[in-house]
Every structure is written in C-alpha cells, then in structure tokens.
Amino acid sequence: MPLIVYSRSTEDFAKNMDGDFLKISGPPTKETLKFTAYDEIIAIGGGSVIDTAKIIARNSKRKKVIAIPTTASGAAKTSHAAYWQGGRKYSIETPRAEVRIDTRLLKTLPDNVIRSTSYDALSQALESYWSKKATFVSRIFARRAIGIIIDQIENNYPNIEKLIKGGNLSGRAIEITGTNITHAISYPMTAFFNIPHGLAVGLVLLAVAKYIECKITVSMLLYKINLNKKLDIELIANEAMTYPQIHNAKKDITKEQVMNILEESL
C-alpha cells in the first residue's frame, strides 16, 4: 500500500486513492526525520507536502517518490528538502520526485496560494541566475523559468499547469546553484513573524533585484500589502546574515544593506 502525503487543501482528492494516509499542516520539522514508510510514497500538494514525502523516502532508504504538485514551488525537481528546527531552516539530501500533473487539482487552487508560490518560483529562478555558482545550464533553466512565470503573473495566471512547469524549471536551476539573498531574508520573516514563505520572498524580491542591479519589471508581482504587524527589521537582518547562503550572490551584502532592502520593501 502506498503512503499518501497530503494537506488540507488536497484531502478530498487524496482520499479517493487507496493507501495509508499522512496529513500534514505545515512545513517539515525535525520530527519528520523519524517518519518511515515501506511502500511507494505519493505526495499531493505544494512544497511542504513534497518535501515531507522526500524526507520520508530518505528515512526509508527508498529512491522513488511520486509528486502530484499543486503549486509552482519546484520542490519535486531538487535532490534536497527543507525542514525547520528552533526557528531555523535546514536542508538535507533526499531523492528527487517523479512529477505527475493532474489538472483536476489545479482548478481548485486558492488565488493566494497561486500568487505566493509564483513569487517563490520566480525568486528561485532569479537567485539562481545571479548566483556565484551559476553555470551555462543553470542559466538556461533560470531564463526559461523567468519568462514563463512572469508571463503568468502579468496575465493573471491564465495557465496554472504552465506556471507549475515554470516552477519545476526554477527547481532545476536552484538544484545546481542553490538560493541566496532573497531566501535568506525570507526565513526569519517566516520564523519570527509567521509570514508565509512565498509572500515573504515576494515582499523583498524587487528590492533585492534592484540591489543586485538585475533589471526586472513585474507590475503585478506586488502591491502594498497590509501585514497588520510591525516587523523588527534589525532582528530579521541579524538572522538573515547567519545563513551562509546569503553570501552566494554575485554581489556581496552586509547587514546594513539587508536593512535597507527591508526598509524599502516594508
């Protein structure tokens, strides 16, 4: 019997399948490293669901994971997964997932999920492109992803399946290079102020691109979002600087420059 990993938004779809079920309500944590399964593992959902399934496959010494993605996170295309412990995000090596698209799932996606994950996917592609570790191949994946994702954002997401394919390309790009400044800044925004990852990335992406001197115009990417909370910019900057990946962009950055980015974005 397969283990089917799903979330609240994909529960109705998942329960039509035969197997054992694991419902998750958030990103993987250190506790996820204890989960095992002995048969096929199927992930139905976004990045947190897919990362959980990949970690379970790693724990179980299994190489095959089937991912039916509902977002543009690109998690299936990387050989690592992220988990949280004590307010910090960590990465571990996992099997890649085999991707299967089911358009029935895509028709029910909430608008905020579509927007949030498109910001994340676009950021992955851009960060890969301006990474110190960029290669000829990673830049091909990144350019293709950027074109697809910006087109979807600018035209109010006419083709969610195409958006997910763009996200998978961004996943292939960061598989080679990893992320850098934007993601490092986003982690403490999520950990300390409970801002969803995609939104946290989106809030600072344009200011980071400006700092990197990367010309990008996405008129519908962000509008002034009322967070209804005051963020501690110095705390976020201090924590962001503790992530080694923040130094992987082609332009070096300091805490003061991170604070300037946050002040411009928020």
Encode pLDDT of 207-216 as tens digits: 999 999 998 8
Tell me what percent of the residues of the chain surpass a pLDDT of 70.
Answer: 96
Q: Please determine, for residue 9, whether its predicted confidence score (pLDDT) is greater than 90.
A: no
pLDDT value of residue 219 = 65
Strand pairing report for 88-93 and 80-85: antiparallel
Question: What domains, with CATH codes, occur in the chain?
Answer: 3-106 (3.40.50.1970), 112-265 (1.20.1090.10)
Choose between 254 and 109: higher pLDDT. 254
CB-based contacts of 155: which residues, under 8 Å, 6+ apart? none
Q: Give the DSSP H or E segment for 110.
A: none
Whose tokens are 């958030």? That residue is 26
The residue among 160, 67, 68 whose CA lies nearest residue 121 is 160
Among residues of the chain, what percentage have pLDDT more than 90? 67
How confident is the model at residue 209, as a pLDDT? 94
Work out the pLDDT band at 132, boundaries 50, 70, 90.
very high
pLDDT score, position 230: 83
Of 80, 126, 120, 128, whose CA–CA distance to 248 is shortest? Answer: 128
Q: Are 107 and 139 in contact (CB under 8 A)?
A: no
**Whole-number pLDDT of residue 216:** 82
| Paired tokens of 12 | 């109705």
Mean pLDDT, rounded, of the chain = 90
Looking at the predicted structure, is the pLDDT value of residue 56 above 90? yes
Query: Model-level pTM?
Result: 0.88
Residue 50's nearest CA partner among 95, 90, 17, 12 is 95
Which residue blocks in the chain are alpha helix, DSSP H? 11-14, 47-59, 103-106, 111-129, 136-154, 160-177, 181-193, 197-212, 233-240, 255-265
Residue 156: its H or E element: none
Asked if residues 10 and 70 have their Cβ atoms less than 8 Å apart, the reply is yes
pLDDT 10s digits, 57-86:
999 987 789 999 988 888 788 999 999 998
What's the CA gap between 109 and 165, in Å, rounded? 16
Segment 133-160, tens digit of pLDDT: 999 999 999 999 999 999 999 898 999 9
- Note the pLDDT of residue 226: 58
Is the pLDDT at 121 greater than 90, yes or no? yes
Q: What is the pLDDT of residues 217-249, one digit of tens each?
A: 776 565 445 566 789 999 999 999 999 999 999
> Taking 60 as the threshold, does the pLDDT of residue 37 lie above it?
yes
